[in-house]
Amino acid sequence: MSSIFRLDASIRQDGSVTRAVADTLEAAIVEDLDRVEVVRRDVGATPLDGTVWGTAAFAGWTPEDDRSEAQRAALAVSAELADELVAADVLIFAVPLYNFGVSQHFKTWWDVVGTDPRFAPGSTTLAGKPAFLVTARGGGYGPGTPREGWDHATGWMRRVLEDVWGLDLDVIETELTLADVTPAMAELRDLARAQLAESHDAARNSARSVTLRLRRAA
Ligand SMILES: Cc1cc2nc3c(=O)[nH]c(=O)nc-3n(C[C@H](O)[C@H](O)[C@H](O)COP(=O)(O)O)c2cc1C
């Protein structure tokens, strides 16, 4: 049996582009494999308590016998999050751009995972594991656009998933998702629709390559 871990960080359920593209990706993987378990963590709908990270970080520097109840509880949370990643064969992260930066809920989740000893600096716990980052942005940030360089989320997410954790990362990006509801973006609506369709196609194609890889490894 194969397993997928999927994280969603969109703060909305209805109309979410990252959830829709991740649904396409997840469904295509599930359809292509015989038996698949999907473990989901929705930090957009149920964010982690923001105080867990600080408590867990200092708990790691406290001798085990001296840890407070709160420190033990915080480390139990980070162990549970880390277990979900370690157990999965494929990881899917569906995370939008918010306020030109990374979703605070995704950042908190990543920070808390980092307090588990399996994710200490230099660890290779997830090295080479296939993973997908599905992201969406309301505007456009391509070369030559007025907001080029203003997306401070995608680069950071690539850095921590690819370079810090060593995941074999495939990134599926959709831009202009606010075109339909923003009058000033009316002329970009066709382009937005085309980009969204491309992202769903990319999700289906990427699913095929990852299921081939899983079958070969089985
Ligand atoms: C609170 C909030 C802040 C946002 N900030 C930005 C932003 O800085 N730049 C941008 O291009 N889009 C921004 N957006 C638009 C989202 O990136 C876009 O709607 C994206 O599709 C959200 O992901 P979802 O469709 O999965 O919910 C923001 C949306 C919300 C709700």
Over residues 116-165, the pLDDT tens digits come to 999 999 999 999 999 999 999 999 999 999 999 999 999 999 999 999 99
Q: Which pLDDT belongs to residue 89?
A: 96
Question: In percent, how much of the chain has pLDDT > 70?
Answer: 100
- 129 CA distance to ligand 1 middle (Å): 28
Mean pLDDT of 179-199: 97
Q: Closest Cα partner for 39 from 94, 110, 107, 91?
A: 91
Is the CB of 136 within 6 Å of ligand 1? yes
Asked whether the predicted pLDDT for residue 34 surpasses 90, the reply is no
Asked whether the predicted pLDDT for residue 88 surpasses 90, the reply is yes
Q: Which pLDDT belongs to residue 217?
A: 84
Identify the residue whose C-alpha is closest to ligand 1 atom 12: 138
Cβ neighbors of 38 (< 8 A, separation 6 or more) are 3, 4, 6, 26, 30
Identify the residue whose C-alpha is closest to ligand 1 atom 16: 138
Euclidean distance between CA atoms 5 and 152, whole angstroms: 25
Q: Which pLDDT belongs to residue 218?
A: 76
Euclidean distance between CA atoms 34 and 195, whole angstroms: 31
Is the CB of 138 within 6 Å of ligand 1? yes
- Domain locations in the chain as residue ranges: 2-217
Q: Which pLDDT belongs to residue 164?
A: 98
Confidence band for 110, pLDDT divided at 50, 70 and 90: very high
Residue 49, amino acid? D
Domain 2-217 fold = Rossmann fold (3.40.50)
Q: Which pLDDT belongs to residue 71?
A: 98
Give how far Cα 104 sits from Cα of 79, 181, 193, 199, Å.
Answer: 20, 24, 28, 24
Is the CB of 195 within 6 Å of ligand 1? no
Is the CB of 206 within 6 Å of ligand 1? no
Is the CB of 140 within 6 Å of ligand 1? no
Q: Which pLDDT belongs to residue 204?
A: 97
Confidence band for 42, pLDDT divided at 50, 70 and 90: very high
Average pLDDT over the chain reads 97
Q: Which pLDDT belongs to residue 167?
A: 98
Mean pLDDT of 60-85: 97
- 94 CA distance to ligand 1 middle (Å): 13
